[in-house]
């Protein structure tokens, strides 16, 4: 019986993000295409003899995570949902930037649920893990589902891309400027456009990497000029840059290895490839 796992937690990019309306309870209705990329955190899990859950950070260059971060919350939620009395020691080698719109915290939570489901021999199905994950964050079920997908509603309707809809393998420059963005400040901004016409998966599949826009970007650029600067910097090399999620990271597809000059020293910049599936997709039964 395994007592130790090392697992990845990949980031995601929103290839576009349209706000199509708003529910009576204030939640925004969206359409988006979520794509997994190889910018990832590494999580280490060691089963312990007690029911205690602990966590430590391994990357001294990353911001210190709160004691009750999403990994700890995920482990606690799994204990509560199953009555499991086992514990775990979690260590995080954090590389995905925070306040970037790349889903780092949600991905860490998803990988925690997937890994502990296996480490603790709980045998929950994917749907059961998603029910636990959605209470931790709207993006967590996407990472548990483990496939690039069309996402609608408030994030709960997930349709994996198959056949002709599948995303072609490609490479992307991703930049996280020094400043971050608070998601709530964007969604509450009175200037946010909330009435983009609904699209279809077929519309998107006709031009995977050129379709649509990010309705959050104009507000984000007003709140965080670094977003505009990073976008313009990538655009200056002939690329089409856009913001992912609620930012502040921006990205652009590149068809060849482009040697970019030195970016501002406080930017995080990485050449990323998209993933066909989550690395842990085979760890869960349907």
Cα separation, 274 vs 253, whole angstroms: 10
Is 139 one of the annotated active-site residues of the chain? Answer: yes
Of the candidates 41, 69, 108, 139, the residue annotated as catalytic is: 139
Q: What is the pLDDT of residues 77-112, one digit of tens each?
A: 999 999 999 999 999 999 999 999 999 999 999 999
Specify the higher pLDDT residue, 191 or 258: 191
10: left (phi over 0), alpha (psi -120 to 50) or beta: beta
Is 259 one of the annotated active-site residues of the chain? Answer: no
From the CB of residue 224, how many other CB atoms can be counted at a distance below 10 Å?
23
Beta bridge partners of 176: 268
Cβ-proximal residues to 67 (8 Å cutoff; 6+ apart), any chain: 55
Domain 1-286, what architecture? 2-Layer Sandwich (3.30)
- Considering the entire predicted model, what is its pTM? 0.96
Q: What is the pLDDT of residues 116-139, one digit of tens each?
A: 999 999 999 999 999 999 999 999
Cβ-proximal residues to 202 (8 Å cutoff; 6+ apart), any chain: none
8-state DSSP, 20: E
User: What is the pLDDT at residue 1?
Assistant: 58
Q: What is the pLDDT of residues 3-32, one digit of tens each?
A: 899 999 999 999 999 999 999 998 899 999
Of the candidates 12, 94, 176, 231, the residue annotated as catalytic is: 12
Per the CB < 8 A criterion, the answer to whether 42 and 7 are in contact is: yes
């Amino acid at each position: 019986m395994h007592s130790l796992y090392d697992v990845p937690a990949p980031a995601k990019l929103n290839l576009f993000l349209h706000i199509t309306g708003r529910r009576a309870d204030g939640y925004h209705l969206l359409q988006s295409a979520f794509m997994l990329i190889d910018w990832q955190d590494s999580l280490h899990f060691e089963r312990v003899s007690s029911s205690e859950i602990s966590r430590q950070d391994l990357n001294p260059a990353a911001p210190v995570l709160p004691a009750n971060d999403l990994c700890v919350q995920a482990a606690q939620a799994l204990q509560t949902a199953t009555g499991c009395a086992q514990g775990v020691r979690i260590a995080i080698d954090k590389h995905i930037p925070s306040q970037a719109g790349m889903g780092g915290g949600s991905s860490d939570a998803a990988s925690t649920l997937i890994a502990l489901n296996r480490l603790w021999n709980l045998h929950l199905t994917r749907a059961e893990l998603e029910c636990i994950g959605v209470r931790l964050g709207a993006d967590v079920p996407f990472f548990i589902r483990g496939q690039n997908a069309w996402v609608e509603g408030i994030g709960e309707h997930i349709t994996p891309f198959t056949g002709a809809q599948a995303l072609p393998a490609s490479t992307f420059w991703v930049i996280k400027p020094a400043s971050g963005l608070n998601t709530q400040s964007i969604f509450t901004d009175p200037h946010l456009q909330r009435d983009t016409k609904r699209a279809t998966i077929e519309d998107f599949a006709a031009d995977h990497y050129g379709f649509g826009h990010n309705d959050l970007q104009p507000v984000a650029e007003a709140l965080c000029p670094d977003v505009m600067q990073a976008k313009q910097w990538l655009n200056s090399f002939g690329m089409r840059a856009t913001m992912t999620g609620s930012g502040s990271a921006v990205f652009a597809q590149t068809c060849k290895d482009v040697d970019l000059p030195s970016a501002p020293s406080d930017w995080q910049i990485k050449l990323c490839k998209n993933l066909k599936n989550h690395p842990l997709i085979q760890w869960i039964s349907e």
